[in-house]
Amino acid sequence: MTEPKSSKSEFWSHLAAGLQSRKQANLWRSLVPAEGISATMIERNGKSLVHFGSNDYLSLAWHPEVRDQFLSAATKPKVGSGASPLICGAGPEYQNLVHQIASWKGLDSAVVFSSGYAANVGAIRSVASREDLILSDAWNHACLIDGCQLSRAKVVVYPHADTDALERLLAEHRSNHRFSFVVTDTVFSMDGDVAPIARIHELCEQYDAIGIADEAHASGVIGPRGRGVLAAHAIDSTEPKDKTPFHAERWIQTGTLSKAIGCSGGYVCGSELVTTWMIHHARSWIYSTAMPAAILSAASKAIELLQSMDSQRLQLAATSNQLRNRLLEGGFKTRLDSTPIIPIYVSSPSDALRVSQHLADSGYFVPAIRPPTVPPDGSLLRVSLNISHSPDQLEGLVRALESARPESVR
């Protein structure tokens, strides 16, 4: 036997050294004891804090009708589904939910995965392969990045939301590949900005590329009946092309049931062709146990409820605008968008930790977001708004930020 290059003990030392360097760079992560108290309050490390860290933007995770639906489906004798979907089949709760998603989104069909992560990895990996080109926004969520890598397509990352760069790259690479895909979050998960979907759509038309849009943070929050950014641009419609400027054939849409929908799971939706392809090729769906009925049932109720929440969506956007303006006036570095994800940029991971700790000491939970979740110079505090936050809670947050007075945030 030839000598191995490194020994077992070197492997463990390699892990220990890697963790140590994370610690030294203020990039240490730990799982703290925490429990939700209400849509806007959380107990973390034994202390009650106003919760600005949840993606449950519409408070549907706490909605009594969603909970009742969950509980009534949970009275069935079986808890887990027992097998992967093609083995255990589609129960009434699954069938109901896919119809609900498809009709909400105005599309033919949907497939429900066990998470949004699984939906994105499965969708991208299943449609793209070695001969293909993927253009991927630099700020895309990790599951889009992983799906791109798993596909083995040529992946070219374009600078965030830079459609000029995207056009140049399409012009340069498109003709060398069989199919091309442009992959983007529609609302970016850490910075809360909205992708330039209309221009991306034009470029997809011009260069004959397929768009893959992750509506994780847009579904429930943006567009008519909370249908997302594609719907807000009328891109998602299966209407004939002459009736609408956009066409569903250009886009594959993914999303999650875990954010504004307040439950858990993910989906891919589109034409029958797309969803039939998923059930043949999306490995994260085929080879993973089907979702429990109770959570599917709760998600159906949440999607039913959120469609009539346009006034709450308007209020959420108005609150987001007010808070962003207030922060800018106070000298904080943020950006003007209307989504409920508000970034407050800081100069370093240690600043992010320091301000987050100061806020916790003052009674507010705002997570510190550091690399590798964001680029090396992109540390921020991520404020997530919720329709249940009271004016007093929002005012208190601004005061606590002001009292932090870290030069880095100013």
Ligand X SMILES: Cc1ncc(COP(=O)(O)O)c(C=O)c1O
Residue ranges in contact with ligand X by CB under 6 A = 115-117, 120, 141, 143, 185, 189, 214, 216-217, 256, 258, 266
Closest CA to 199 of 240, 236, 237, 164: 164
| Least distance (Å) between residue 262 CB and ligand X | 12
Alpha helices in 282-348 (DSSP H): 283-286, 293-306, 310-329
Instruction: Report, in Å, the least distance between residue 132 CB and ligand X.
Output: 21
> How many CA atoms are closer than 13 Å to the CA of 38, on its beta-carbon side?
10
**Tokens coding 102:** 């498809």
Please, which residue, 266 or 401, has the CB nearer to ligand X? Answer: 266
| Minimum CB distance to ligand X, residue 347 (Å) | 24
Q: Could you tell me the smallest distance in angstroms from the CB atom of residue 258 to ligand X? A: 4
Residue with Cβ nearer ligand X (291 or 355): 291
For the bound state, the minimum distance from the C-beta of residue 144 to ligand X, rounded and expressed in Å, comes to 7
What is the 8-class DSSP label of residue 291?
P
Cβ proximity to ligand X: between 223 and 266 the closer is 266
The answer to whether residues 95 and 294 touch, using CB atoms and an 8 Å cutoff, is no
Q: Minimum distance between the CB of residue 142 and ligand X, rounded to whole angstroms?
A: 8
Backbone angles phi, psi at 386, to 5 degrees: -140, 145
Residues forming a β-bridge with 41:
50
- Minimum separation from the CB atom of position 399 to ligand X (A): 29
If one counts every other C-beta atom within 10 angstroms of the C-beta of residue 233, the result is: 17
How is residue 26 written in tokens?
């203020």
Residue with smaller CB distance to ligand X, 253 or 258: 258
Name the closest residue to ligand X (Cβ). Answer: 116
Query: 99 Cβ partners below 8 Å, 6+ apart?
Result: none
CB crowding 20-48: b at 16 or more within 10 Å, else e: eeeeeebbeeeeeeeeeeebbbbeeeeee
Between 212 and 248, CB nearer to ligand X: 212
* Nearer residue to ligand X within complex by CB, 267 or 277: 267
Phi, psi of 383 (to 5 degrees): -90, 120
Secondary structure (DSSP) of 136-189: EETT--HHHHHHHHHHTSEEEEEPTT-HHHHHHHHHHHGGGSS-EEEEEESB-T
Nearer to ligand X, 106 or 122 (CB): 122
State the minimum distance, in angstroms, from the CB of residue 52 to ligand X. 16
Distance CA 363, CA 231 (A): 38
Q: CB nearer to ligand X: give 262 or 349.
A: 262
